Structure 1
Amino acid sequence: MAAPLKRLCCQAVRQSTQHTTRPRRRPDVPQWQWQPLRPYSSTTPCPASHHHQGEDNHFLTPFPPSPEDSTTDPTYEEDDISSLAHSELDQHRELRDMVRIAAWEMPLLSTLHTPFARPDPATLPLRWRYTTYMGETHPAARKVVVEFKPADLRADVVNTQQRGKLLKLAGPRYNPLTGILKMSCESFETQAQNKRYLGDTILSLLAEATDPAADTFADVPLDTRHVKAKPRLRFPTAWLLTAERKAELEARRRVLLLEEGRKVEGDRVVSGVTAIETARQVDAKRLEEPVMAEARLPLARGKQGKREMGQAGVRR
């Protein structure tokens, strides 16, 4: 049963293929321009007939007209440099631009110079310090340090008692030797966040120190055990070469030279070169005496003497 059905299917496909491959007749198109139909089972275009090669065909999309010099591209004549050379050239242009700015524009900045005026510590007590690595990513670049002197705070902000409470609240962040309260923060990812945290912390300390309802810590002493005073060695004043000190040293040198001259005149000075030469001569004599004494001894006669002198006969 399956074989006759398969035979019928193959015959139907064959007939449909023959029907679709027949050229389509159109009364308004000449016969030499007929376009053969393409079967649905095929995805490749049908080859063009040799009768209309090079001739106009209504079924084909014509290509746009090309210029006469289409064989060569005027923008690329195969004489350009490589991409690496282009990058080097861009770097050279950038360097020349920077040198041009330094030569012609930098000197004009002197007209904008203004004298430096030291700010009043009472109006700007906080001093901030940032760390930068010139565009490079580094974990320490987010660290922010702030320092200020509590003594620079205005009297209308904190009084003496409140300033003492502020120092006690700061703890080891206050250095009594320099009088500076220093804090740092690097807990957040950006410098702005760390700076905001330090600012909020300082405001909290000031609010707690100036709170009239809070404890004043008057009975708590200021703890400064975290600071170790380092002795600073100073040059002794007695060692300074003043005019009087130079004259005194020159007088001492003259006295020593006079005493040395008197010893030389009285042969009381021992010459080191003479002492070394005398000791060398004595040592040389001590080394020569055993050799001379051995040379004076008479040699033994007979075989014993020849054997000692290395002249013993060899038996064959």
Structure 2
Amino acid sequence: MLHQTGASRLVPALQDLSVHRTFHACAAAHAKPRRQRNRNNPFALNAMKHFQYDDIPTHGHMKLQKQRQLLGYYRLLKNEFPQLHELAEPFQPPPAQNILQFTFTHYQGEEHPNARKVVLHVNVEDLAKVHALDTTYAKHKFLLLAGSRWQPTSPALVGRLNAALAQSKEALDAAYNAEPLGVVTIASTAYPHEPQNMKWCSDVLDRMIEEANKEPSFADIPLDVRPYIKSNARGGQTLRPTVSDFPAEWL
């Protein structure tokens, strides 16, 4: 009797626990039937009607959109571009004093980390023409300060300048005035905006010119030839090839 009485007491409790547990854990009790859900969904495949051949496919709409875009450009070319003649100005070449060339990189309105980069190019002969580098020793010290940023016209020029430096001042003057000396390049990406990097490159060039005209002149230090030579497998060093090293029929 005690066992039956205990079992009869536990059965309702277990039934209540199973009911509450099923109602709480099962999401299907709150879900609507699939047919009822699809009846109210306008994007359901079963609710879509059959194609009545009264429209064009997606590819056709894309082609029409492309034609509308081209027509918009044609209208702009026909109606707006003739008005730009009123804003046209004759080209004025830069004066001889403007010897600095700045290179900017743009990506047609897109944001890019490299869009802030500014590169400054200046010819060493132009610095001498505007009297920024007055003496031959100033040119030599300027090339020493430039280092690998100096791009000579040929790798052999570095050897000829060093050979003239070892001989005498007259030979050095003749070597620096005999042929073009190349271009010095200064680049900057340190700042977030182009004008800031442009100003930094210009300031660096001004400091280099100022230091090149100061004493000491470093006339006993030759130019570094390592950026303009290459090493072979046996440890020797040869000059890098230039355009003059290739046959004429190859060019």
TM-score by length of 1: 0.40
TM-score by length of 2: 0.49
Higher helix fraction: Structure 1 or Structure 2?
2
Higher strand fraction: Structure 1 or Structure 2?
2
